Structure formats: structure tokens, C-alpha cells
Structure 1
Amino acid sequence: MLNFNQQVVWITGASSGIGEALAQAFAQAGASLILSARRIEELERVKNSLPLSPAQVLVLPIDLEKPETFPELVQQVMDAFNRIDILVHNGGISQRGLVKASPLALDQKIMAVNYFGAVALTKAVLPIMLAQKSGRVVVISSLVGKFGTPMRSAYAASKHALHGFFDSLRSEVWRDNIRVTIVCPGYIRTNISINALTEKGDKHNRMDKNQEKGMAPERCATLILKAVAANKEEVVIGGKEILAVYLKRFFPGLLSWALKRFMKPA
């Protein structure tokens, strides 16, 4: 049994998918939680499903495109719990659109949410962890944080950027007992493809076939908690698709051929 007793965990994107599954897993492991996303009704639903008392859960809506609001949100967390032990960056949006058809504004929006939102919230929380001389940042990246695939250029760019920033942060703060874990999920059975943005900025509104057959988010959450408990710096989670990470490292030409052959743009 994983034990996160007396740990205060702040999860963004906690209203569904991996974020909701992480909330359940951390709650069962004894943590107190801050649940953040844009949809307050869904956050309340998640809160009411947790095996925790009301005092152990704070629902705190967040818009990752509005970093100017983050200092006040951090203060609300400190007023409620007086510490932040684990910050989980799970909030974000995906993409299904060709480079040639996607306006720059779409790339900027995805970077604002997925990358700058995580960076800004980390910068708002970091002084607290430095003062505590302890803390952990958990970054939910993706396999496409390791390599790009068709129809996901801005999404892949945002995930690549997260690796660069948080690898650098890890090298700076380890002496302060602050750790960074980057998680690279493959196909997890969530609504990420349904909510992905198209070239026009609309919702994709379709479940990808590979997503539909993917790992259950509850299993993914369990593996993430195990990685955090084991102090892993990076973990890759998924099915046979994770082999692509090793192809990229050792046989990049073969992976490039496979992506062009089997993942043709629509």
C-alpha cells in the first residue's frame, strides 16, 4: 500500500481522466488534496467521490491561461493547509490538426495552457517548497514529449518544452530536497482526444481508436504514484506504444519511417 499520509497534493486537470484517477489514488493513500480545473461542477463531483473529509479537500478552480491569478490561488492553498508537498501538472489540451492549416493563435493557446501554465504555477509554488526544504513537482507529459507525430505539432512542442524546463529545474533544486518526476503516458483511456482542438479551434469530438483501447486511467494513476514513491525522475507508462521511445533513442530512422508509414495525416 502506497503511503502519502499528511501530504498535501495539488492536482491540476483534476476534473476527469488521469487527474481524477490521481485524486482517487492519492486520497486512498492518505493525502489531502487541492483539486483544480476550470469546471467547478466536475471538481465538486470528484470531491464528493473521495474517501476524505471535507476539510481534507479544497476545490480550487483554475484557468491555466491566466497566470496572474496564481499567487492568490497559492495563498488560498496555504490558508487551508499551510504547506504544499506535491504539485501535479496534469491540466492541458491536445490537438488534432495539420501544421499547414493551423493558425499561429492555436499554437500559442496550446503553449499557453500546457507549457506556460505549468511554468507559471511552478514559479508561484516554488518559494513555498524552498522554504519548506521539501517538495515534489510531478509533470504529466506524454510520449510525444519524446517524439513528434502527425496532427499534434503544437501539443508535441508543448510537451517537449516541459521536459526542457523541468529537467533544468530538477538540476537546480535537488539540494533543497525538491524533486521532479516527469511522466510520459502513452494511450490512456481518457477524453483527451475528444477534447483536442482542431485546426479551427473546435473540439475534435472523436475518441481515437488507440485511445479507446488504451490503459485504464486508474492503472496509470497507480503507476504514477509508484514512480513518485520510488523517487523516479522520469517514467514511461502505456502498452506496446512505449517501444517508440526506445526506437527514437536507438533507431531514430526506423521510428521516422514507421510514423510516416502508419500515422498518416488525415
Structure 2
Amino acid sequence: MEPPSPLVLRDARSFAFFHVVFARFFRRHMGALRLPHWGMPPETGRRPLIVLANHPSWWDGVAFMLLPARLFPSRHVFIPMEAAAMGKYGFMRRLGVFGIEPGARGAVAFLRTAKAVLEAPRAMLWMNAPGRFQDVRERPVAIAPGVTRLPEMAPDALVLPLALDYVFWTERRPEMLAAFGEPIEARELLALDREAREERIRAALTATMDRLAEEAFTRDPGRFTVLVSGAEGMGGFYDLWRRFVALLRGRRFDPRHARRAESG
């Protein structure tokens, strides 16, 4: 029996509720979600949209909840996930996440679902292109089987590479960095054979990852737009004492370890 379509299972109210949950979780554990000024997504109109990201961390799932809601608020995101993992996060079916079974039959089912998503108004497909966890420094960047078939499902689609990275700068909590690269027309990919398509996608994603790594290396928050702000400082009794001392001295309390200019 065919599982229900994610287009049917997705519930806007559930997505809105869990988006708040994910955002609060992020703010407790992360410093900020930052995009370099060049890394904002282009205007995509109503075109089918395929976002292909690298896969460095468990936090990618949180990024997939926060980025679409803030950058594509009029669209509905759908995300494939390994079917075995879906058993642990069943609630995600209500958020547009759907399971992928291993093997040839699973690949066929994935492409069928992807085609239905990309044909639906306002829907967009986000996925981790490697299909497995892969360190941001590992080269070549892996491209999972089936990714090169996606342009065939939606010839009018726009393919957006998305680089994700997680770094420690001057604060206790890590920074989540994200950047969109130059879009690729699906028809451009269709003009290539599948091996060449894979190399084209890999090159675009690698270039975006490398450029984001260069931005991360500067450790300069001013080069980024802050999309979500997280917790700052040490927290607990130590920051409570620092706040009290600042109040006694008539100063504004800044919980950060290093003073810096913020953008966004």
C-alpha cells in the first residue's frame, strides 16, 4: 500500500507551531544564524524550486526549518529523510518531511514524490545533496544517487546550492552559517548527461561552500546578516553578577565576550 503523499500530510498549523519550537531550541543552544550579504537567495517567483545543501551536521534539520520560514514565507517546504530515521521523528510528517526507503524501489518512490512536490503550487523541495553526513572539509562533495534525476522531474525548476557550516568564534555557543550560491537552471542541467550534471551540481555546491568558508575565516559578524539571534554570554549566576555590577556603574550590560558590530 502506498504511503500518504506528503502534500496531504503536511499541516500548516503544525509547521507554524514546530517552527516556534525549533526557533526557541536554536536560541538556547546557538549564537546566531547568519548569512553573508552575497548569500541571500534570489527572487524565484512561482517557479519550482530545488534547494541542494551539503550535510555537515545534525543541525541541518533545524536549518531546514528556520531558513524556509524566514526566506520563503509564502512557500511550503518538503524535505526527504531516510525512512529509518523517520521512525524516530514521526511528527515531522506534519512538517512536510517524507521518508525514503533504500534500494531501487525507494529511489523510484522518491522521484515520484519529488515530481508531485515540484508540480504543486508554492511547494519547494529541500534536501542534503550528499545523502549522508559529510564534513565540510571533505572533497569531493558527495552527490547522492537520484539528485541528477531531479531536473527531469521539473524542467522549469531553479536549482539553488546551499552551503551550511557551524563555527565557534569568540562566544561560548557556535554560529550557524548559511549561504545560497548562484542558481542553476534545470534546463541547463538537462542539456548535460547525468555524469556531467553531477559534476555541475558538485562544482556549484563546492564553490558556495568554499566561499562561505572564506567568510567564516574572517570571524567578522559585520559581513553577515543575522537571521535568528541566539543566546549570548555565559549565562547563569556569572552573567547575573556582571549585570548587577554594570547596573551599579551605570553602564549598559553587554553579555558578549567580545564587543563587535552586528549587521541585520
TM-score, with structure 2 as normaliser: 0.38
Greater Rg over alpha carbons, structure: 2
Bigger fraction of residues in helix:
1
TM-score, with structure 1 as normaliser: 0.38
Bigger fraction of residues in strand:
2
